[in-house]
Amino acid sequence: MRCDTKTFAQMYETVYKDLYRFALCMMRNPQDAEDAVSEAVVAAYENIGKLKKEDAFRSWIFTILSNICKKKWRNASKESSHAAEGVLDEASGEETDIGLALDVRKAFFLLEEEEQTIVGMSVFGGYNSQEIGEALKLNPNTVRSKRSRALQKMECVLR
């Protein structure tokens, strides 16, 4: 797809809040979320020529962001695999169980890429099946069944 800076900015403007919300849920830290979104935007801009249809921009950039978040989590968990349980969450001021949060993220990252996108857009992005279906060119019923199976997979891993 041929795209100038203005067109890219217009497409980005339609998703930037959702990208940040998704990254914040994944990274659990505002600065890390901002970094991930920034990296995703740069990567998307540099590779916009690989995008075949403008309609696919939303799902394409979410996939890029999801991959960046996964990479950051893999690197972070290697560095802090001995993190203490029950650390105070800076963003909410509530006590969280880091072990459980890591387990959920590991379960999420075991899903196939399409499943991650569907679960991420649904749970983290707040999109409904119709909106996800439009973004991914899937029937809303297919989105619901794939989301259900993906969540069941995650549940099995977390037991």
In the chain the domains, ranked by start, together with CATH numbers, are 5-158 (1.20.140)
pTM: 0.61
Residues 6+ apart with CB under 8 A from 1: 48, 49, 51, 52, 53, 54
Residue 81 φ/ψ, nearest 5 degrees: -65, -15
Sign of the four-CA dihedral 95, 73, 22, 16: positive
Adjacent-strand bridge partners of 88: 95
Count of beta carbons in the 10 Å neighbourhood of residue 112 = 12
pLDDT in tens, the chain (159 residues): 677 788 899 999 988 888 888 888 777 788 998 999 999 999 999 999 888 888 888 888 988 998 898 888 777 666 654 443 344 444 444 445 677 777 887 888 888 888 888 888 888 777 889 888 887 788 999 999 999 999 999 988 888
| Token pair recorded at residue 156 | 């099995």
